[in-house]
Amino acid sequence: MPIFLHTADWQIGRQYPAFEPDNAVPMAAARLEAVHRLAQLAATEGAQAVLVAGDVFDAQTVSDKTVRQLFQAMAGWAGPWVLLPGNHDAALAESVWSRAQRLGVVPPNVHLALKPEVLLLPEAGLALLPAPLTQRHTHNDLTTWFDTVDTPPGLLRVGLAHGSITGILAEDIDSANPIAPDRATRARLDYLALGDWHGARQIDARTWYSGTPEPDRFRNNEAGLALRVQIDGPGERPVVTPLSVGQLRWQQWEAGLHQAGDVALLVERLQAMSPADVLDITLQGELDLAAHQRLDAALAEAEARLRSLRVDRHGLRLRPTDADLAALHADGYVGEVVAELRDDAEAGSDVAREALVQLTALLAELAPETPAGGSHAAA
């Protein structure tokens, strides 16, 4: 009753340059953490093997330290790990794999499937047919050879490949490495473990994408899982169970803010977020001074609390009311300037909007005794 874990797209060494350094570093560390968790899961689920369907590393030129860290993370489970090169870490003439071998960090229980040849794991009851990428991109179906090769009877025929199932994932795939959609049937496979697609996805009864164990983008596509595959014997139907592995939740919101209530709603949602959240908010609408200040406060608080918070305010306009301005003592010529900037800001000038924000902030500083937002909030 062989049980194995199917995972892929670890992308170890991946950095997050678009994020603030204090957020990006833990996000990168979370990827290694996922490997630790997989090792734990393999033990607790009683797996006989862990199959990694490509893109173990994010790049060929990750540092030696990163390479060592990966193999150290895998040490938590002593069973057989099978690592397949993907498009990010193809088995090129010189590759991260040859480097790992040179460094001598690959333990005996870790099998590098660098060549398209049958790999037997009799203890696990598996005959593996790997289709490693030996170029960065290929336009041939590397799994074709599965059809014609024989494996010892009694062992499960399990294919291991990295690429896109032709005709199904054409739009969103990471690379152009094609895989025939009926490969599992044609090659008499018990299971075809695929990588490259970052969300878990079933193609047919015997063909699955496991997705990445740790999400790395905002697209909501069942990321952060590993697949527990149980096949009772050759020819038997696989039982596939998704297991949660990932730590971080990646979310993208769009919020239209037009009145104080909208802000209050957004603030509530923000308060519900946890330090495991990576959040991206796009704001639109227009707010008076008080609501604007409240929004600023809530966003600042959330930014400190969440793993990462990014806010696009481009569509948001500050529209101080006359009462706001009166409260700020924006009389005389300053009042004239405020009015003028407000008009320009409404006409779409980012500079005028920023100038208005600066000016109102200055006025608030200069007249601190006036509770600018208080009276308005009640209105």
Q: Name the site residues for other proteins (rule: CB under 8 A).
A: 13-21, 24, 58-66, 92-96, 99, 102, 136, 329-337, 340-341, 350-352, 354-355, 357-359, 362-363, 365-367
Closest separation between CB of residue 303 and other proteins, Å? 14
In the bound state with other proteins, the residue whose beta carbon lies nearer, of 180 and 355, is: 355
Residue from 33, 131, 125 nearest 79 by CA? 125
Closest separation between CB of residue 362 and other proteins, Å? 5
Q: Is 326 helix (H, G, I), strand (E, B) or coil?
A: helix
Closest separation between CB of residue 136 and other proteins, Å? 8
Q: How many CB atoms lie within 10 A of CB 292?
A: 23
In the bound state with other proteins, the residue whose beta carbon lies nearer, of 159 and 215, is: 215
CA–CA distances in Å: residue 34 to residues 7, 66, 105, 186, 225: 11, 14, 19, 34, 10
In the bound state with other proteins, the residue whose beta carbon lies nearer, of 13 and 224, is: 13
In the bound state with other proteins, the residue whose beta carbon lies nearer, of 135 and 271, is: 135
Q: Rounded CA gap, 156 and 126, in Å?
A: 5
Q: Rounded CA gap, 126 and 36, in Å?
A: 24
Closest separation between CB of residue 339 and other proteins, Å? 10
Closest separation between CB of residue 101 and other proteins, Å? 11
Query: Which residue is listed with tokens 């952060």?
Result: 224
Task: List 251's β-bridge partners, or say none.
Answer: 279
In the bound state with other proteins, the residue whose beta carbon lies nearer, of 12 and 194, is: 12
Q: Counting Cβ atoms within 10 Å, is residue 9 exposed (0-12), middle (13-18) or buried (19+)?
A: buried
Residue from 4, 242, 241, 243 nearest 123 by CA? 4
Task: List 237's β-bridge partners, or say none.
Answer: none
CA–CA distances in Å: residue 13 to residues 107, 309, 343: 20, 22, 49
Closest separation between CB of residue 83 and other proteins, Å? 17
In the bound state with other proteins, the residue whose beta carbon lies nearer, of 124 and 325, is: 325
Q: How many CB atoms lie within 10 A of CB 203?
A: 19
Tokens matching residue 341: 């900037």
In the bound state with other proteins, the residue whose beta carbon lies nearer, of 186 and 310, is: 310
Closest separation between CB of residue 247 and other proteins, Å? 20
